[in-house]
């Protein structure tokens, strides 16, 4: 297959007020940094054609491919708790949708491809650092098995973007099940546009939740589906130490994918109060607050949907309440279920949640690295090959190693009740406790090399490592290590 791409644009068929039609702005001298060939193949696109000059022109927004119907979507959103009735794609342009080899429909969007009617005071551009960061982190999340938008390509533009300093410009091609957000529903709800709300809900039902579409109360089923997907998603974030950093309602996907990789980062030392984002001064989006914030955002979605849920408002509110009420139980099931797996438990017993919570508490009190603790536990299973050296390796992560010893007594007692041998247990644990996450100090080194020295070697290396996060990869062992000082004081910035 060659270009043109096989577009089928369902969002562009929605009414005009859902978006603004706008073409990407041509950039000066595009250069391909990286094409995600396996993803291109999955989408039914020809990787060779995309890597050829004509393909790069498309990925850089210099040429609108046949079949594309470029648009910037309208949406609203609560940003740090404040409602903004009009946001929208200010520096992203949806080229269109393709249906992949797996039958799944996906958006192909350029991020950083020039201004749109929603740009407000922004330039519509993206800098190279944040583009590489999003590429790497989103592909890392995918490899970890966590639902996420994907990165199809990164190109440099040959232009400069002005931030606090002058930086090289770049464009990311982002792939998502859709870019519909909680804020998209809020956009119509805030305008009292019930017809728009219903049209959007019907689009979402057809696209993301055909089962809910067939339910007795489809709009309630839609809300329940979003609630369930978010509960599971946030649980998965917590299992790998991921902090999204800017969980505004415009950054929460209806499809349940991790979206918007601006200021996100992974924990090193475990501390649930960790918030890396420079603008998150009060820790609203701190690691341990994420479940609460997800529910807060879902409550905003529930409110927006009230007019669709019942004829009269009181009944609609009751429906919304009931649908959102599922969150706590679904989150706990997903969260503690995942922690069980991380501890090598295949059966469920009373006390498992306390066992997991006690470990996390000891880790927090002792500055233990989140990822290393769980990875090293895999080898410290009683009877496993690692022996006493493996136990020492975990103990050494705790300021007071006896805190680990005290916890491990209970763990060993609990494991004695489990079926299966030690080798199988270690193996199962290694499949859920990654060795490699995008460590902040490595991500920073990678960005510096690319931006300061046009050296994309570290980006390529990290990508190789992070697309196999559960494998030991001995030659890259140093990339599994924690930074000096547990990574405290790290700061991230919104990718503007």
Binding string, 447-466, against Mg ion, x = CB under 5 A?
--------------------
260 is a contact residue toward Mg ion (CB under 5 A)? yes
Binding string, 252-291, against ligand AMP, x = CB under 6 A?
--------x-x-----------------------------
**190 neighbors 83 (Cβ within 8 angstroms):** yes
Residue 259: which residues within 8 A CB-CB, separation 6 or more? 148, 149, 176, 179, 181, 251, 252, 253
89 binds, among Mg ion, ligand AMP, none (CB under 5 to 8 A by kind): ligand AMP
Of the candidates 36, 173, 178, 251, which one interacts with Mg ion according to CB under 5 A? 251
125 binds, among ligand AMP, Mg ion, none (CB under 5 to 8 A by kind): ligand AMP
**45 neighbors 99 (Cβ within 8 angstroms):** no
Distance CA 83, CA 304 (A): 13
Instruction: For the CB of residue 437, give the shortest distance to ligand AMP in the complex, in Å.
Output: 22
Burial 368-387 (b: 16+ CB within 10 A, else e): bbbbbbbbbbbbbbeebebe
Whether 312 sits among the annotated catalytic residues: the reply is no
Binding part of the chain for Mg ion, among 16-24, 144-152, 253-261, 364-372 by CB under 5 A, reads 253-261
Instruction: For the CB of residue 259, give the shortest distance to ligand AMP in the complex, in Å.
Output: 9
Instruction: For the CB of residue 494, give the shortest distance to Mg ion in the complex, in Å.
Output: 9
Residue 333: which residues within 8 A CB-CB, separation 6 or more? none
Q: What is the CA radius of gyration of the chain?
A: 23
Of the candidates 67, 90, 117, 483, which one interacts with ligand AMP according to CB under 6 A? 90
User: Which CB, 87 or 362, lies closer to ligand AMP?
Assistant: 87
3-state class (DSSP) for residue 123 = coil
Distance CA 241, CA 238 (A): 5
143 is a contact residue toward ligand AMP (CB under 6 A)? no
124 is a contact residue toward ligand AMP (CB under 6 A)? yes
Given the residues 89, 107, 209, 250, the one annotated as active site:
250
342 is a contact residue toward ligand AMP (CB under 6 A)? no
149 is a contact residue toward Mg ion (CB under 5 A)? no
114 is a contact residue toward ligand AMP (CB under 6 A)? no
Binding string, 229-248, against ligand AMP, x = CB under 6 A?
-----------------x--
**134 neighbors 152 (Cβ within 8 angstroms):** no
Q: How open is the CA angle 178-255-48, to the nearest 5 degrees? A: 40
Of the candidates 68, 87, 243, 391, which one interacts with ligand AMP according to CB under 6 A? 87
Structure tokens at 380: 């410290």
487 binds, among Mg ion, ligand AMP, none (CB under 5 to 8 A by kind): none
Distance CA 454, CA 156 (A): 10
Q: How open is the CA angle 326-328-329, to the nearest 5 degrees? A: 70
What sign for the dihedral angle of Cα 90, 256, 342, 275? positive
The number of residues that bind ligand AMP (CB under 6 A) is: 19
User: Which CB, 258 or 371, lies closer to Mg ion?
Assistant: 258
Binding string, 207-246, against Mg ion, x = CB under 5 A?
----------------------------------------
Residue 78: which residues within 8 A CB-CB, separation 6 or more? 84, 183, 186, 248, 249, 250, 297, 300
Report, as residue numbers or ranges, the catalytic residues: 250
Binding site for ligand AMP (CB under 6 A): 87-91, 118-119, 122-125, 246, 250-251, 260, 262, 494-496
Binding site for Mg ion (CB under 5 A): 251, 260
């Amino acid at each position: 297959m060659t270009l043109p791409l096989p577009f089928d644009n369902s969002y562009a068929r929605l009414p005009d007020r859902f978006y603004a039609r706008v073409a990407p702005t041509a950039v000066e001298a595009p250069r391909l940094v990286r094409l995600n060939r396996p993803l291109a193949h999955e989408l039914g696109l020809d990787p060779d054609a995309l890597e050829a000059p004509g393909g790069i022109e498309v990925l850089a927004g210099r040429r609108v491919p046949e079949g594309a119907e470029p648009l910037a979507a309208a949406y609203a959103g609560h940003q740090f708790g404040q409602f903004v009735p009009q946001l929208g794609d200010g520096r992203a342009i949806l080229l269109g949708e393709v249906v992949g080899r797996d039958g799944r429909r996906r958006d192909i969007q350029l991020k950083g491809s020039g201004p749109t009617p929603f740009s407000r005071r922004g330039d519509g551009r993206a800098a190279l650092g944040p583009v590489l960061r999003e590429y790497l982190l989103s592909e890392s999340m995918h490899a970890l098995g966590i639902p996420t938008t994907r990165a199809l390509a990164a190109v440099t533009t040959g232009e400069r973007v002005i931030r606090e300093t002058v930086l090289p410009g770049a464009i990311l091609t982002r792939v998502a099940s859709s870019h519909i957000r909680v804020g998209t529903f809020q956009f119509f709800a805030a305008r009292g546009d019930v017809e728009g709300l219903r049209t959007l809900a019907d689009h979402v039902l057809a696209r993301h939740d055909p089962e809910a579409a067939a339910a007795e109360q489809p709009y309630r089923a839609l809300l329940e589906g979003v609630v369930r997907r978010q509960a599971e998603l946030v649980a998965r974030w917590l299992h790998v130490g991921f902090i999204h950093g800017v969980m505004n309602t415009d950054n929460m996907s209806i499809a349940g994918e991790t979206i918007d990789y601006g200021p996100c980062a992974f924990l090193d030392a475990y501390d649930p109060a960790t918030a890396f984002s420079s603008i998150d001064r009060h820790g609203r989006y701190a690691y341990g607050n994420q479940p609460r914030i997800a529910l807060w955002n879902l409550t905003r979605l529930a409110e927006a949907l009230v007019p669709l849920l019942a004829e009269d408002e009181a009944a609609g509110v009751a429906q919304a309440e009931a649908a959102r009420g599922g969150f706590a139980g679904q989150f706990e099931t997903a969260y503690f279920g995942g922690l069980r797996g991380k501890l090598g438990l295949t059966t469920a017993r009373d006390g498992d949640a306390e066992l997991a919570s006690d470990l996390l508490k000891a880790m927090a009190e002792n500055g233990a690295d989140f990822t290393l603790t769980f990875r090293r536990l895999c080898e410290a299973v009683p009877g496993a090959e690692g022996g006493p050296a493996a136990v020492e390796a975990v103990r050494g992560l705790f300021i007071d190693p006896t805190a680990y010893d005290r916890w491990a007594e209970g763990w060993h007692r609990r494991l004695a009740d489990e079926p299966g041998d030690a080798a199988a247990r270690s193996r199962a644990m290694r499949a859920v406790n990654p060795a490699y996450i995008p460590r902040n100090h490595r991500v920073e080194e990678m960005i510096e090399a690319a931006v300061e020295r046009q050296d994309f070697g570290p980006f390529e290396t990290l990508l190789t490592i992070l697309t196999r996060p559960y494998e030991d990869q001995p030659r890259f062992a140093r990339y599994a290590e924690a930074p000096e000082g547990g990574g405290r004081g790290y700061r991230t910035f919104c990718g503007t």
